[in-house]
Structure 1
Amino acid sequence: MINLIKIREKQREAAENAGSSTSTIKEQTASELRVHRDISELTLPPICKIEFPNGKDDLMNFEVTIKPDGGYYHEGEFPFTFEIPKLYPHDAPKVKCKIKAYHPNIDYDGNVCLNILREDWKPVLNINAIIYGLIHLFTEPNHEDPLNPQAADELRDNPSTFELNVLSAMWGETVHGLAYDCIRSIYK
């Protein structure tokens, strides 16, 4: 809270020094300030990139692409949208996968089953924690808490069939009657 007060004081001083009123400076909300800090402190591994489709002025909506370098999803490319709510960090961001992924913890609509986006969210968590949680879903898919029960059952009962279905889906083939887009990053 002290940082927020100091930032607002600096904004007012800058406005006064420029000979204008404070109303000409767009005051940032607490959630915008927190997102700005979270993004400035990101430590993304080389398999991730972040983009701001609406420009750097809109930090509340951005995309993160993950290209796993190992495991079942090696060489895939998985883009996620992040929508930061007005009550962030008290409310978790809304994160969705932009493509259909054959994954036990991602449903066909792109919803993600990650505990820190639901019941385990705490205001001390940040965007960096979410990105590393998503990376973990690709290195260690979880069949115990699925959004795609069929994929979870295959992962648990028949990992070799699961692996073939993941590869087929990443090549843009049909798996269990659902067509997928080709997401193999080395062939794009």
Structure 2
Amino acid sequence: MQKAQKGSGSQQGVSVAFIRAKKDLQEYEEIPGIKIHYDTGNPMQIKMSVSPNEGYYSGAVFHFECQVPEDYPNKAPEFRCLERIYHPNIDLDGHVCLNILRNDWKPTLTLQLVFAGILHLFLHPNANDPLNKDAANDLSKYPQDFTRHVQQSMMGGYVGEEKFDRVA
């Protein structure tokens, strides 16, 4: 009887969030331009790289950390870009503005959909829902300046007073 209790106790140590994150990652189908890395013993922390093959950010590699919260899937995972980049939907601290990570999150969404959503931000940046207002303003009003600023920033240069990380 004690052995059964010990066994059931260890099962209780695994959270619903852990089980769901592990399931999401096991069912992950590769997305071109996305690479994910995680320790199978800890699916709550994920590293992701995004390599867009077209658009403004083509030829660059961006790294993200994902922290899956303990109340996942009821709460969205949290993503942060590790490089300082010039992007309307990613601020200078790496926070990501993606509707499914905020207001449109639903427990039925998966990590796969979020990975695809982040890649989509690089292929089609959205000036209407910005975290970086300067980049959004350039994208919507001055597209040639936006293109030039993205290129400068990806090479590790400055845009205005801000220095960016080399990603290309």
Q: TM-score, normalised by structure 2?
A: 0.93
Q: How many residues align?
A: 165
For residues 123 and 81 of structure 2, the distance between their equivalents in structure 1, rounded to whole angstroms, comes to 16
For residues 23 and 157 of structure 1, the distance between their equivalents in structure 2, rounded to whole angstroms, comes to 60
Structure 2 unaligned residues grouped into runs of 5+: none
**Residue 146 of structure 2 is aligned to residue 174 of structure 1:** no
Per the alignment, residue 30 of structure 2 pairs with 44
Deviations 1:39-81 (A, max 9, x none): 01111223111112xx321110111100000000001111111
For residues 145 and 139 of structure 1, the distance between their equivalents in structure 2, rounded to whole angstroms, comes to 15
Higher strand residue share: 2
For residues 9 and 113 of structure 2, the distance between their equivalents in structure 1, rounded to whole angstroms, comes to 35
Structure whose alpha-carbon radius of gyration is higher? 1
Cα distance, 1:24 vs structure 2: 7.4
Per the alignment, residue 22 of structure 1 pairs with 7
Cα distance, 1:23 vs structure 2: 5.8
AA partner of residue 182 (structure 1): R
Which structure's relative contact order is higher, taking Cα pairs within 8 Å and 6+ residues apart? 2
**Residue 102 of structure 2 is aligned to residue 105 of structure 1:** no
Per the alignment, residue 101 of structure 2 pairs with 117
Please say if residues 22 and 40 of structure 2, whose CA atoms lie closer than 8 Å, have aligned partners that are also in contact. Answer: no
**Residue 41 of structure 2 is aligned to residue 57 of structure 1:** yes
For residues 113 and 134 of structure 2, the distance between their equivalents in structure 1, rounded to whole angstroms, comes to 28
Per the alignment, residue 148 of structure 1 pairs with 132
Q: Percent identity?
A: 36
For residues 46 and 141 of structure 1, the distance between their equivalents in structure 2, rounded to whole angstroms, comes to 18
| Counterpart secondary structure, 2:42 | coil
Q: What stretches of structure 1 move > 3 A for 4+ residues in a row?
A: 23-27
Deviations 1:149-178 (A, max 9, x none): 110010011111100100100000011111
For residues 138 and 158 of structure 1, the distance between their equivalents in structure 2, rounded to whole angstroms, comes to 18
Per the alignment, residue 111 of structure 2 pairs with 127
| Counterpart secondary structure, 1:96 | strand
Per the alignment, residue 32 of structure 1 pairs with 18
| Counterpart secondary structure, 1:59 | strand
Q: TM-score, normalised by structure 1?
A: 0.83
